[in-house]
Amino acid sequence: MDANSFYEVAGVRLAAVASNIRYADRLDLVLIEIAQGAAVAGVFTQNAFCAAPVLLARKHLQATTSSYFLINTGNANAGTGAAGRDDALRCCQTLAKLTEVQADSVLPFSTGVIGEALPVDKIESGLPEAITNLSAGNWLQAATGILTTDTRPKLASTQIEFDGKSVTITGMAKGSGMIKPDMATMLAFIFTDAQIHQELLEQKLAEAVSHSFNRITVDGDTSTNDSCMLVATGHSQVQIDAGNNSVNEEFDRALRQIFQELATGLIRDAEGATKFITISVRQGASTEECLQVAYTVAESPLVKTAFFASDPNWGRILAAVGRSGLKDLALDEIAITLGDVALISNGELDPNYAEEKAQIEMDKQEITIEIKLARGHCSETVWTSDLSYDYVKINAEYRT
């Protein structure tokens, strides 16, 4: 679905304002209001140096029901110690006072430059306008307001019918660099008007993340601020429970579709990216070893720069598979294909390989590599991007 098209989620209101946190006249403060009675689940970065808002959001999520998400860009409030935690709490307290809720019902999220003090005064100054602007239709503004180096908002939305009643799922995400899953990389906020109890919602979030945000990589770096939230407002009156298999399964398919659309949207808009690359590893002995091979290939600078150059240098792919660390790898049984072109068969260059055909595949903007390990029946897919001059430029100049 185009970012300009979306379904509103009953029980959710949003606003985005320009608070001049890092840049003038740019949407950089997003407020999301969640109706009473909603179930809220979250997963957060595994980076040991997790940011102050992550620590506080985790704590608040466990303390009480959530009323607001408060998101700022331009400043990560990471690597800021006790002062950073105090700053994040102060923002929550100010919003709580203005809206007459408990401070721990506000979950803070930040993204941007690491190691700088959070400009609390600017955030506090923007809160009254954000509260005034809250509206059920401000999805695109909110999706725009959470961006940093992204070039476009990522918004995904769908509706499904159950016995004549509609259930809506709409979500947004940001992130185009410092992307390597270690739970759910970046910021993502997904909402549904279905009724889902807390424990089941947490299960659904974990499952959806594992097949979406935990299957992408841009540069192998896990952010300090990664957070992914799933909210069920219950306003559709449609109950989703594990006992109703047909309804539950259809909802799960729709939810995974939204998560994957947002996750792959991050890769399509990765910093400096010119290629969208799917790496599929099949016939593995386990999920873990399939992912081990897939990520070794996806994060190889030599493989990624070959993609950028549209160079069918298959030796780099072969070398990455070989150094992935699998024990007792049967080299003479491995097969690798690039799109429809067989590169490796039985561990060596396919006898029908033609450079001209491989070049046609490498010239495409969307590229698929399939690796067959001949070790079992497990399969996994990872999505990644190429490594371009612009990626280096964007990250070299990130703080300027």
- 3-state SS assignment for residue 375: coil
What CA–CA distances, in Å, run from 195 to 156, 209, 244, 335?
20, 20, 13, 46
The token pair at 296 is 């070794």
Active site residue 185: yes
- DSSP annotation of 167 reads E
- 3-state SS assignment for residue 325: coil
What CA–CA distances, in Å, run from 131 to 40, 96, 126, 335, 338?
21, 11, 9, 57, 51
For 112, what's the count of Cα atoms within 13 Å in the CB-facing half-sphere?
A: 26
Residue whose pair of structure tokens reads 């399964």 in the numeric block: 249
- 3-state SS assignment for residue 310: coil
E strand residue ranges, 37-164: 39-44, 68-75, 106-113, 154-162
What CA–CA distances, in Å, run from 56 to 50, 59, 67, 302, 333?
10, 5, 15, 39, 50
The token pair at 383 is 């999505």
Residue 170: count of CB within 10 angstroms of its CB: 23
Helix (H) or strand (E) holding 191: strand 187-192
Burial class (CB in 10 A: 0-12, 13-18, 19+), 81: exposed
Residue whose pair of structure tokens reads 């903007």 in the numeric block: 365
Helix (H) or strand (E) holding 143: helix 139-145
What CA–CA distances, in Å, run from 364 to 140, 273, 307, 358?
30, 13, 10, 10
For 269, what's the count of Cα atoms within 13 Å in the CB-facing half-sphere?
A: 19
Catalytic choice (158, 185, 217, 224): 185
Name the residues annotated as catalytic: 185
